[in-house]
Amino acid sequence: MNSYRETRAASGHAHAHVHARVPRWRSPSALVISGFPLIAAALLLTGHKAHLLGVLPILLIAACPLMHFVMHQGHAGHGGANAKGKES
């Protein structure tokens, strides 16, 4: 059995048209699926901007203890372990 290219070449068409595959993320269904959450997020942000801006001061205050914990690796980062070693 002849392959498709051999059949096309034998029929007088020297160049068989080979279609490149479209990447999965560029398919129409992927664009619709990714576009829907983007549109929903934009509508939520514009419709609820006052609510989001009202929460920002609370988030800033809540971030202070979190940054303290992360930057000092808990309360042991104040030198508690090293201070005991220096006393002896």
Note down pLDDT in tens along the chain; length 88 residues: 555 555 555 555 555 556 678 787 778 888 889 899 999 999 988 888 888 888 889 999 999 988 888 888 766 655 655 555 555 4
Instruction: Name the residue with tokens 């490149």.
Output: 20
| Dist CA 15 CA 23 (whole Å) | 24
Per the CB < 8 A criterion, the answer to whether 55 and 45 are in contact is no
Name the pTM for this structure.
Answer: 0.36
* CA gap 26, 44 in Å, rounded: 26
